[in-house]
Amino acid sequence: MHYILTIILLVTSIYAKAKEFSVVIDEPFNNSLLDVTENHDRTVSAVGFVKTQNNITSKKGTTYTNAFDYLSSISNTHGSQIHLVKVDNQANITLRKSVKLQNFNEPVSILKTPEDGHYIGGYTLDGSLLILKLDQNGNTIFTKVFGTSNYDKMSNLVLLKDGGVLAIGSSATTRSQNDKLFESGLGLNDIFISRFSKDGAKLWSKKFGTEHDDKGVDAVEANDGSIVVLSQTNYDRFKNISIMRLTENGDKTWLHHYKNEKLTTPYKIIKLKNNNFVVSLSQEDEMHKQQIRLIKFDIQKNILLDKTIHTTYASALRDIKEYSDSKLIGVGYVSDTYNRDGLAMLLDSEFNMLQQEHFGEENYDEFSAVKILHNSQAVAVGVHTDKESQESNMWLVKLNKDISIAQIAPKVTDFYKELCRVFKDEIKSHKLTIKEDLSIRFIDKNLYFKTAQYILTEDQEKFLNIFAKKLFPFLYAHKVFINTLEINGHTSSEWAETNFTSNYLLNEKLSMNRSYHTLAYMFKNQDIETQNWLSSIIKGSGLSYSKRVMFDEKEDKEKSRRVSFKIILK
């Protein structure tokens, strides 16, 4: 049976009604989402900032003798506060909460805790570093404020294998002999790294850098517990990068400095599954246009691959992640003279571009971070600016693995209603029933199995042909939402002259045979393309007599000898 043409042409009402998974949160003034993670219940949490008003204001009745004193009194009344957003699979915002701190602040990253809460890393706008631990409802468990006596800024917060975190950023040079951490700075700004235990205790803080202006950008933990750090050095008109390896105690093992005459900006470092590393950069070309550059290297700083990805417009990947098949997804921006769009790019393990997509309108849009989800979809966050607006908004977009924008998952009730519509004739003629949990049971007596039998009858085969011709195109049309199609075999509890153990095991084998023969008949009658798709979702199992059909508290043995189906959504 060749259903592919039917499948391609079939567009059901659920799919037609489906909307793109793009969430824009509009608040007064500029705001943004900066990082995102997935929760245990498959929702996603993103962190960003919104503008708010400081409750600490000047006293009423104060008289100012000059404008400068007055402006000073109101200069810190408005600023940023860390903002947590949680979004479910239907693109509903289920939680929004600002973390109220005395000083204005912004986040840089969000991490999961084992308790399904979050670590949030950030900094105050007056120069302190922050680590917050929140529960799953966004309530603050603890707040760590740390740093030097100078102006500090965090770039990223990294989760370590021991449950602790590593904060990386920059610190202004200190010349104070009273600073217990340093007697003197290394340059204008230095790389600043602090390590904390899983209980929030600071284990160490260290500075690194050159006589120039240095900034810690990102870091990642290697398999042996050492830490590989990505940093940036600014001098004259150049921005060059450095990669440094530290022991778990923060002692420098090696440093590799990449000098060139082209403006280079580092964004992200990740560890691959093969224990090598990839750095994402942007670098000016001969036309002074930023292009994507990716470098792969090993733990001994040997360069394995260095590739520039040339695009028509200026572009950069601000974040990259690796799929289980070694492909990479990157997000960032692409821009021309008048417009900037969010950029998503799919690459193979050799950094060959497989696909790229631009997202946004005729204004300023950009992605800051991406997270690969459990089902191989990804979620990207950043900023979106409406066409006629001058203010940026928080933005969250879910992507399929081919980096097309995902559709909002249908509600189970909507899916149930559409499934009932597809099988309305079979329901009306009492061939089958469908429950709201998307389970399907045959109820025509000609579709039950005889005692101890599992070979399909002519009536069963005939109905399975009709059933498959409707079910498979329906599932394929909604394949982005389908996780599993279960085919379960069942038996009655009877088995003559056996003990309990033999009774159960013989019925288990019989139920598995019923499931297998039903699955095999439906599967082998499809063309190869349909079979390839079915192999990714179909699951056969035998349930023995654990799900017997009961009537008036008595087993209906005839109706118990059956197969059933269940659709499980992502």
**Confidence band, pLDDT 50/70/90 cuts, at residue 71:** very low
Q: pLDDT by residue (tens digit) across 355-387? A: 999 998 888 999 999 999 998 999 999 999 988
Answer whether 278's CB lies under 8 Å from 269's CB: yes
Whole-Å CA distances, 311 to 23, 288, 289, 401: 28, 13, 10, 21
Domain boundaries, the chain: 26-55+78-309+364-399, 412-569
DSSP string, 384-426: E--TT-SS-EEEEEEE-TTSPBPBPPPPHHHHHHHHHHHTHHH
The amino acid that residue 400 corresponds to is: N
Q: Which residue has the higher pLDDT, 4 or 135?
A: 135
C-alpha 303 chain-centroid distance: 29
The yes-or-no verdict on residue 191 having pLDDT over 80 is yes
Is domain 26-55+78-309+364-399 classified as CATH 2.120.10.30? yes
Q: pLDDT by residue (tens digit) across 427-443? A: 999 999 999 999 999 99
Q: Between vectors from CA 217 to CA 82 and to CA 45, what angle results, nearest 5°?
A: 35
Lowest mean pLDDT among 126-135, 245-254, 475-484: 475-484
On the question of a common fold for 26-55+78-309+364-399 and 412-569, the answer reads: no
Which is it for the CA torsion 397, 400, 404, 407, positive or negative?
A: negative
Share of the chain above pLDDT 70, in %: 89
The DSSP H or E segment spanning 501 is helix 500-524
Q: pLDDT by residue (tens digit) across 120-171? A: 999 998 899 999 999 999 999 999 999 988 889 999 999 999 999 999 999 9
Q: pLDDT by residue (tens digit) across 270-282? A: 999 999 999 999 9
d(CA 553, CA 570): 35
Lowest mean pLDDT among 62-66, 450-454, 543-547: 62-66
User: What is the pTM for the complete model shown?
Assistant: 0.76
Owner of token pair 């947590």: 84
Q: Which residue has the higher pLDDT, 204 or 187?
A: 204
Q: Which residue has the higher pLDDT, 186 or 159?
A: 159
Write down the pLDDT at residue 199. 86
The yes-or-no verdict on residue 540 having pLDDT over 90 is yes
Which residues are bridge partners to 220 per DSSP? 228
The DSSP H or E segment spanning 67 is helix 67-74
What is the CATH T-level fold of the domain 412-569, as seen in this structure? 60s Ribosomal Protein L30; Chain: A; (3.30.1330)
Q: What is the average per-residue pLDDT within 332-348?
A: 92
Answer whether 461's CB lies under 8 Å from 521's CB: yes
Lowest mean pLDDT among 298-307, 308-317, 400-409: 400-409
**Confidence band, pLDDT 50/70/90 cuts, at residue 11:** very low
**Confidence band, pLDDT 50/70/90 cuts, at residue 186:** low
